[in-house]
Amino acid sequence: MADEPDSIILTILRKIDQRTERMAEDLHDRKTRVTSVEEGLAGVNCRLDRLETRVDRIEKRLELTDVTH
């Protein structure tokens, strides 16, 4: 009888350990994906900044800029 409670507790603890391990793996995967998305957005932001600079130059050259800005 003394072995039975220990084995039930150990069984439950093993299941908790397995679930925790899966959650840690999922979290790692999600962090990797978020990092990838952040890097992609940084690249898009950089390109948008360059496009804005180019459009500003074109507007100035064509005298299309608004005096109030």
3-41 pLDDT tens trace: 576 799 999 999 999 999 999 999 999 999 999 999 999
Distance of CA 39 to the CA centre of its chain: 9
pTM of the model: 0.63
Say if 50 falls within a structural domain.
Answer: yes
Say if 57 falls within a structural domain.
Answer: yes
Residue 50 pLDDT exceeds 70: yes
Say if 68 falls within a structural domain.
Answer: no
Q: Which domain holds residue 57?
A: 35-61
Q: How far is CA 6 from CA 40, 65, 66, in A?
A: 51, 79, 79
Q: How far is CA 63 from CA 5, 49, 50, 55, 66, in A?
A: 84, 21, 20, 12, 9
Say if 28 falls within a structural domain.
Answer: no
Residue showing tokens 């608004």 = 66
What pLDDT is recorded for position 66?
Answer: 75
Domain tally, the chain: 1
Task: Write down the mean pLDDT value for the chain.
Answer: 91
Say if 9 falls within a structural domain.
Answer: no
What pLDDT is recorded for position 69?
Answer: 54
Say if 24 falls within a structural domain.
Answer: no
